[in-house]
């Protein structure tokens, strides 16, 4: 019953059959410039996001590049089976989840806090200069970030020597399973926090300044205003970003981790993305890598849908 | 209208004639070769060496350099390329991707060509045993690149050793230990042994010296077992671990990149290395050219006996290193067509002859090498021109019929000793008995498993884990596929024995 009611509603709104298409045609004609504006984005998604999706069939094949997608042997779920019968797949998954969780707990709030701090800045000029400086690290290649880290935290580095002299013993920052994750999170925070503020700062500009004035009249101090006006105003943006972040809970990237990994920390640096890189690019096993990639995507979609649902249940607007 | 048509037709025909004339132009062969750091200056256009190759063989080489450190990755993406180079070097002839792609028809089957001594005289002279080693399901797809056998070994700074009171030949493991101790005592700022993140070679050399097999061993019952299960393997690791504890190895060797392995030796920071023997004369020549050294300061170590008097030495390679493959043209990708194939094979044959070898290894006289009074060639003083015109063209050198280039390379006293040493070491050389065999687990997880063994060794040497920790990592190796891989090699080995 509910279904047909919904369908009836849709019909009333858009019409049916030829009428629907006719209406759509006239709408496109009316807003042709807007649709033209949409076109590049649409083409981009079609060409770079939708077309490549057909490539996932190789996850079910024993793909050999020379034989092509059509000429390779069909193997069904072989690669999925081999991954789950690979004894250390849990290690790869655990490493991925721990790193992701640390990322959400420690990195995710960082741009929000920084954006709030920037928002409280009085001198507009100083704020602009500061913002520009904060964006710079985003454009520095991760290779350079890792090299600089080596120089600072390596055995002859400033920080290494400093902590050695202060503590009386040396900490092997670059080659220890304990420090590895913290170094990764630290580098991410240093590199991406500034860039991450952009979206929150944009949300903050929408806050009605009258609210602040009214609150001030009512005797609210800065903290009260922050808590009762600013944060609620950007709450939906935060929730949106969190939902998107949950979608990439299995993504850790591989370049950063591979650059930072060495025999001393390999046991904690191997994540699913690193596995995909090892199998696919280094080992030339494109099918195996695709299968893991597909699995990750399925988890991602599930995560986005379920967190979105939770957001709805909690009265938030969510993603859609 | 008709006139116009005639005009157009005439134009088209004359264009056709032009393109027919172009058929006289040299046959272009695209090649992908590994690039080592020295080749950044290579000049592909105004290059007299490439011109000479074109003049003599009728082939214009167009080279794609692929950085050596990323070669494997680039090789794999080359396989998926619609326009792959016609000729490509595979650094590992038994790599999983080479096997599967060859079986699916990525490369031309050269079996009949190498048997045709009339048309391809040099290729036909290649060692049949090695051709068999690189064959896939009985067919030969590549031309192997000959390398000095067994090549693996140790060398040290003989001047420092003398200064520290070590003035004898190293003939036993005890001598080697004494040498390491003496070199280590030189200064607190220097190290006896030069090691880097690439621990595999160093570990192989020392463990095989103690009697461990090379990667895989065959036990008394004729079964395959992994090298680390041999007690000698642990003895070898202990030797390194002791040296490390006595501060004879750089404490940060694990994070030292393999690309700058030479640095510690060239900066007088470390005085011994377990690697390839030919590096001995390379280091000597570098010191002569860059530091004005006149004495012989680098010396290679010959056969080293165990306590019981027996000798086992590491064979760094199976007599060759990688192979040269020809990409096959199929409906879905470019490559060498069946009609062009003989031309390409003929060119590879030419590369194995005296003319080709001289150009690929030495270049041109007075441009990239000089001939001395004794009739030997040397590139001394012409390094810049060498980097510009020859660079790593020698990566295409196969030499299946031996080194035929005349004039030959100048053989300094050290180089002569190198060849003597190779002959001396050959009877004791230990090779990997499972080299010709396949294993599905190796295909799927071989890389990770080898990394795990290397990591275990590195961590044990550096004292991060004790023997129990080492054994735990070995157990992990077995669990993660090592046991299955052993079984697969065992089956393949037994199948081949019958």
A88 in contact with B, Cβ within 8 Å: yes
* Whether residue A46 sits in one domain with residue A130: no
Q: How much is the pLDDT for B74?
A: 92
- Chain A CA closest to residue B479: A87
CATH of domain B152-314+431-497: 3.40.190.10
Nearest to B319 by CA among B151, B174, B464, B451: B151
Are B79 and A175 an interchain contact pair (Cβ–Cβ within 8 Å)?
no
A259 CB within 8 Å of a chain B CB: no
Q: Are B179 and B239 in contact (CB under 8 A)?
A: no
Nearest chain B Cα distance for residue A281, angstroms: 6
CA distance A38 to chain B (A): 33
Nearest-angstrom CA–CA distance, B446 and B95:
10
- Between B18 and A180, the more confident residue is A180
- A14: pLDDT strictly greater than 70: no
Specify whether A246 is located in the same domain as A110: yes
Shortest CB distance from A282 goes to which of B72, B106, B458? B72
Q: Are residues A183 and A222 in the same domain?
A: yes
Q: Which of B269, B255, B241, B460 is nearest to A172 (CA)?
A: B255
The answer for residues whose C-beta is within 8 angstroms of residue B210's C-beta and 6 or more apart is B173, B232, B233, B235, B236, B239, B306
pLDDT at A15 over 70: no
So what's the pLDDT on residue A22? 87
* A59 and A123 fall within a common domain: no
Using the predicted structure, report yes or no on whether residue A11 has a pLDDT greater than 80: no
Query: Given CB atoms, is B95 within the 8 Å cutoff of chain A?
Result: yes
Residue that wins the pLDDT comparison between A64 and B118: B118
For the segment A14-20, the average pLDDT, to the nearest whole number, is: 72
Omega prior to B407 cis, within 30 of 0: yes
Residue B111, chain A, CB below 8 Å: the answer is no
- B75, B454, B481: residue with CB nearest A263: B454
Q: What is the DSSP string of B215-247?
A: SEEE-TTS-EEEGGGSHHHHHHHHHHHHHHHTT
Local confidence band at A222 (pLDDT 50, 70, 90 cut-offs) = confident
Distance of residue A311 Cα from the nearest chain B Cα, in angstroms: 41
Q: What are the pLDDT digits (tens) for B297-349?
A: 999 999 999 999 999 999 998 889 999 999 999 888 899 999 999 999 999 99
Last residue of a domain, one of A76, A101, A120: A76
Query: Chain A residue with minimal CA distance to B107?
Result: A66
Average pLDDT in the B446-466 region? 92
Interaxial angle between packed helices A286-313 and A231-247, expressed in degrees from 0 to 180 and rounded to the nearest 10: 150
CATH architecture of B26-147+319-405: 3-Layer(aba) Sandwich (3.40)
CB contact under 8 A, B454 and A67: no
Judged against a pLDDT cut of 50, whether residue A1 lies above it is answered with: no
Contact list in A for residue B455 (CB cut-off 8 A) is 263, 266
CB B359 within 8 A of CB B49: yes
Q: A264 and A304 share a domain?
A: yes
What is the domain range of residue A243?
Answer: 83-313
Residue listed under structure tokens 């003496």: B182
3-class state of residue B152 by DSSP: strand
Q: Which of A66, A71, A283 sits opposite B101 (nearest CB)?
A: A66
Report yes or no on A7 lying in a domain. Answer: no
Kindly tell me if the per-residue pLDDT of B12 is higher than 90.
Answer: no
CB B93 within 8 A of CB B134: yes
Top pLDDT among A149 and B497 is at: A149
* Set of chain B residues whose Cβ sits within 8 Å of the Cβ of A65: 79-81, 101, 106
In a domain, A5, yes or no: no
Before B39, cis peptide (omega within 30)?
no
Q: How many CB atoms lie within 10 A of CB B415?
A: 18
Return the number of other C-beta atoms located less than 10 Å from residue B189's C-beta: 7
A286 contact B CB<8A: yes
A278 touches B at CB < 8 Å: yes
Predicted ipTM > 0.85: no
Burial class for B264, CB neighbours closer than 10 Å (0-12, 13-18, 19+): buried
Say yes or no: A183 contacts chain B, CB-CB below 8 A: no
Q: Is the pLDDT of residue B7 over 60?
A: no
Q: What is the DSSP letter of B45?
A: S
Selecting from A154, A262, A284 the residue whose C-beta is nearest the C-beta of B97 gives A284
Among all residues of chain A, which has the CA nearest to that of B104?
A67
Contact A285/B at CB under 8 A: yes
Phi, psi of B466 (to 5 degrees): -95, -170
Rounded Cα distance, B362 and B370, in Å: 9
Q: Does A26 lie at the interface with B, CB-CB under 8 angstroms?
A: no
* Contact residues, chain A, for B333 at CB < 8 Å: 66
Tell me which chain B residue has its CA closest to the CA of residue A85: B480
**CB pair distance less than 8 Å for B455 and A263:** yes
pLDDT higher than 60, residue B229: yes
Largest CA distance in chain B: 99
For residues A202-231, average pLDDT: 89
Closest Cβ–Cβ partner in A66, A150, A283 for B333: A66
Q: Cα–Cα–Cα angle for B172, B177, B181, nearest 5°?
A: 145
In whole angstroms, give the CA distance from residue B151 to residue B314.
Answer: 8
| Contact status, residue B433 vs residue B492, Cβ threshold 8 Å | no
| Contact (Cβ atoms closer than 8 angstroms) between residue B162 and residue B179 | no
Give B23: exposed, middle or buried? Use CB within 10 Å, 0-12, 13-18, 19+: exposed
Q: Cα(B473)–Cα(B461) distance, rounded to whole angstroms?
A: 14
Residue in chain A lying closest to B328 (CA): A66
Residue A197 reports pLDDT greater than 70: yes
Task: Inspect the interface and report whether the beta carbons of B252 and A67 lie closer than 8 Å.
Answer: no
- Residues of B within 8 A of A71 (CB-CB) are 104, 332
A66 vs B: CB within 8 A: yes
CB contact under 8 A, A264 and B80: no
Task: Compare all CA atoms of chain B with the CA of A91 and give the residue at the minimum distance.
Answer: B480
pLDDT at A88 over 70: yes
Q: Which two tokens stand for residue B293?
A: 């050294």
The predicted pLDDT at position B60 comes to 95
Q: Does B492 touch chain A (CB under 8 A)?
A: no
Is residue A281 less than 8 Å (CB to CB) from chain B?
yes
Q: Could you tell me which chain B residue has the CA closest to the CA of A282?
A: B73
Would you say residue A320 lies in a domain? Answer: no
Which residue of A70, A283, A291, A292 to mutate against B (max B Cβ within 10 Å)?
A: A283
Residue B406, pLDDT above cutoff 60? yes
Q: Tokens for B98, please give them.
A: 């080479």
Q: Judge whether A171 and A179 are in contact, CB under 8 Å.
A: yes
Residue A260 and residue A182 share a domain: yes
CA dihedral sign of residues A67, A71, A73, A78: positive
Question: What are the phi and psi torsion angles at A10 (to 5°)?
Answer: -65, -40
CB within 8 Å: B255 and A174: yes
In chain B, which residues have their Cβ closer than 8 Å to the Cβ of A154?
252, 255
Binning pLDDT at 50, 70 and 90, where does residue B25 land?
confident
Instruction: Count Cβ neighbours within 10 Å for each residue of A142-154 and write b for 16 or more, e otherwise.
Output: beebbeebbeebb
Find, in chain B, the residue whose alpha carbon is nearest to that of A87: B480
How high is the pLDDT of residue B29?
95
Mind giving me the DSSP string for A69-82?
HHHSEE-TTHHHHH
Distances (CA, A) of B37 to B34, B139, B260, B357: 10, 35, 11, 22
Q: How much is the average pLDDT of A268-282?
A: 90
Nearest to B73 among A174, A262, A282 (CB): A282
Interface with A, mutate which of B73, B107, B454, B477 (most A CBs under 10 A): B73
pLDDT (tens digit per residue) in B36-61 = 875 578 899 899 999 999 999 999 99
Q: What is the pLDDT of residue B411?
A: 80
pLDDT score of B8 more than 90: no
Q: B313 phi and psi, to 5 degrees?
A: -125, 150
CB atoms within 10 A of CB A113: 12
Q: Tell me the shortest Cα–Cα distance from A87 to chain B, in angstroms.
A: 5
Strands B87-90 and B320-326: antiparallel
Report how far residue A248's alpha carbon sits from residue B122's, in angstroms, rounded to the nearest whole number.
Answer: 57
Mean pLDDT for all residues in chain A: 89
Alpha-carbon distance B164 to B185, whole Å? Answer: 8
Same domain, A117 and A240: yes
Instruction: Check CB contact of A282 with chain B, cutoff 8 Å.
Output: yes
What is the pLDDT of chain B when averaged over all its residues? Answer: 90
Share of residues in chain B with pLDDT > 70 (%): 95
- Are A71 and A134 in a shared domain? no
What digits encode the pLDDT tens for the residues B345-386? 999 999 999 999 999 999 999 999 999 888 899 888 888 898
Mean pLDDT calculated for residue range B124-140? 89
A59 and A87 part of one domain: no
Residue A263: which of B72, B106, B459 has the nearest Cβ? Answer: B459
Same domain, A44 and A192: no
Residues B134, B276: contact at Cβ < 8 Å? no
* CB-based contact, B77 to chain A, within 8 Å: yes
Instruction: Please check whether residue A3 lies inside any domain of the structure.
Output: no
**Are the Cβ atoms of B96 and A285 closer than 8 angstroms?**
yes
- CA closest to B95 among chain A residues: A283
Candidate from A144-148, A157-161, B254-258, B307-311 with smallest mean pLDDT: B254-258
A-chain CB neighbours of B476 within 8 Å are 88
Q: Which of B45, B64, B18, B30 is nearest to B340 (CA)?
A: B30
Choosing from A76, A104, A120, the residue where a domain stops is: A76
Residues 6+ apart with CB under 8 A from A67: B104, B105
Together in a domain, A201 and A289: yes
Range(s) within chain B of domains with CATH label 3.40.190.10: 26-147+319-405, 152-314+431-497
Beta carbons of B95 and A284 less than 8 Å apart: yes
DSSP at A122? S
Residue pair B415/B409 in contact (Cβ under 8 Å)? The answer is yes
Same domain, A269 and A131: yes
Q: Is B83 helix (H, G, I), strand (E, B) or coil?
A: coil
B267 touches chain A (CB under 8 A): no
Contact state of B96 with A82 under an 8 Å Cβ cutoff? no
What is the rounded CA–CA span in Å between residue A151 and residue A147?
6
> What distance in Å separates the CA atoms of residue A291 and residue A187, rounded to the nearest whole number?
30
Is B470 an interface residue toward A (CB < 8 Å)?
A: no
The owner of tokens 């080992």 is A283
Looking at residue A2, its pLDDT comes to 47
The number of folded domains in chain A is 2
- Strand-pairing partners, residue B274, are B154
Distance between first and last Cα of chain B = 79
- The domain boundary, picked from A54, A76, A98, lies at A76
Band of pLDDT at residue B18, cut at 50, 70 and 90 = very low
């Amino acid at each position: 019953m509910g279904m047909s009611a919904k369908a009836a509603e849709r019909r009333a709104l858009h019409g049916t059959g030829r009428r629907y298409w006719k209406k759509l045609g006239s709408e496109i004609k009316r807003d042709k410039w807007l649709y033209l504006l949409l076109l590049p984005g649409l083409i981009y998604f079609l060409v770079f996001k939708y077309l490549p999706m057909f490539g996932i069939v190789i996850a079910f094949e024993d793909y050999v590049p020379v034989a092509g997608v059509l000429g390779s042997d069909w193997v069904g779920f072989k690669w999925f089976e081999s991954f789950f019968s690979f004894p250390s797949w849990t290690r790869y998954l655990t490493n991925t989840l721990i790193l992701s969780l640390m990322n959400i707990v420690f990195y995710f709030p960082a741009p929000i806090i920084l954006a709030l701090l920037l928002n409280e800045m009085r001198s507009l000029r100083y704020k602009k200069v500061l913002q520009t400086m904060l964006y710079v690290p985003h454009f520095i290649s991760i290779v350079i970030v890792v090299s600089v880290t080596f120089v600072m935290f390596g055995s002859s580095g400033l920080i290494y020597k400093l902590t050695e002299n202060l503590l009386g013993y040396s900490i092997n920052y670059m080659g220890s399973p304990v420090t590895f994750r913290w170094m990764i999170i630290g580098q991410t925070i240093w590199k991406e926090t500034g860039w991450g503020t952009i979206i929150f700062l944009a949300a903050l500009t929408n806050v009605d300044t009258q609210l602040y004035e009214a609150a001030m009249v009512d005797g609210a101090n800065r903290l009260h205003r922050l808590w009762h006006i600013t944060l609620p105003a950007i709450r939906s943006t935060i929730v949106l970003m969190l939902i998107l972040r949950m979608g990439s809970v299995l993504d850790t990237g591989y370049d950063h981790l591979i650059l930072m990994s060495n025999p001393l920390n390999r046991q904690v640096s191997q994540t699913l993305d690193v596995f995909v890189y090892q199998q696919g690019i280094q080992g030339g096993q494109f099918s195996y890598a695709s299968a893991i990639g597909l699995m990750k995507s399925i988890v991602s979609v599930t995560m986005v849908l379920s967190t979105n649902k939770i957001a709805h249940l909690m009265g938030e607007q969510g993603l859609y | 209208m008709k006139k116009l048509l005639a005009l157009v037709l005439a134009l088209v025909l004359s264009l056709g004639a032009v393109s027919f004339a172009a058929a006289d132009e040299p046959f272009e062969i695209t090649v992908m070769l590994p690039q080592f750091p020295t080749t950044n200056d290579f000049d592909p256009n105004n290059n007299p060496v490439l011109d000479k190759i074109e003049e003599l063989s009728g082939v214009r080489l167009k080279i794609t350099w692929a950085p050596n450190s990323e070669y494997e990755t680039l090789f794999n993406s080359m396989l998926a390329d619609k326009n792959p180079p016609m000729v490509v070097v595979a650094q590992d002839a038994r790599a999983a991707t080479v096997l599967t792609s060859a079986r699916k028809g990525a490369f031309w089957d050269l079996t009949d060509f190498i048997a045709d001594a009339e048309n391809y005289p040099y290729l036909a002279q290649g060692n049949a045993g090695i051709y068999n080693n690189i064959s896939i399901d009985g067919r030969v797809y590549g031309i192997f690149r000959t390398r000095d056998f067994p090549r693996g070994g140790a060398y040290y700074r003989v001047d420092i050793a003398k200064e520290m009171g070590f003035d004898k030949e190293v003939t036993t493991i005890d001598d080697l230990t004494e040498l390491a101790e003496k070199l280590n005592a030189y200064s607190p700022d220097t190290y006896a042994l030069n090691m880097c993140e690439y621990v595999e070679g160093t570990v192989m050399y020392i463990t095989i010296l103690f009697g461990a097999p090379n990667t895989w061993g065959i036990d008394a019952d004729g079964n395959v077992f992994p090298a680390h299960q041999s007690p000698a393997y642990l003895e070898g690791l202990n030797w390194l671990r002791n040296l490390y504890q006595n501060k004879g190895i750089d404490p940060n060797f694990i994070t030292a990149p393999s690309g700058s392995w030479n640095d510690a030796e060239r900066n007088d920071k470390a005085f011994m290395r377990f690697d390839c023997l030919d590096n001995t004369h390379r280091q000597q020549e570098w010191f002569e050219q860059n530091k004005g050294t006149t004495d012989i300061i680098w010396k290679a170590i010959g056969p080293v006996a165990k306590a019981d008097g027996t000798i086992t030495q590491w064979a760094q390679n199976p007599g060759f290193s990688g192979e040269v493959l020809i990409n096959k043209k199929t409906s879905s990708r470019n490559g060498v067509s069946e009609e062009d194939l003989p031309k390409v094979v003929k060119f590879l044959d030419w590369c194995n002859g005296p003319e080709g070898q001289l150009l690929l290894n030495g270049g041109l006289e007075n441009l990239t090498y000089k001939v001395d009074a004794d009739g030997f060639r040397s590139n001394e003083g012409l390094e810049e021109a060498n980097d510009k015109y020859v660079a790593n063209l020698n990566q295409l050198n196969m030499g299946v019929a031996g080194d035929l280039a005349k004039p030959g390379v100048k053989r300094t006293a050290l180089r002569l000793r190198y060849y003597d040493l190779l002959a001396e070491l050959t009877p004791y050389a230990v090779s990997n008995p499972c080299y010709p065999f396949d294993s599905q687990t190796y295909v799927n997880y071989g890389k990770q498993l080898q990394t795990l063994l290397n990591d275990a060794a590195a961590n044990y040497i550096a004292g991060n884990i004790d023997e129990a920790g080492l054994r735990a990592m070995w157990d992990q190796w077995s669990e993660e596929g090592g046991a299955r891989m052993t079984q697969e090699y065992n089956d393949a080995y037994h199948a081949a024995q019958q």
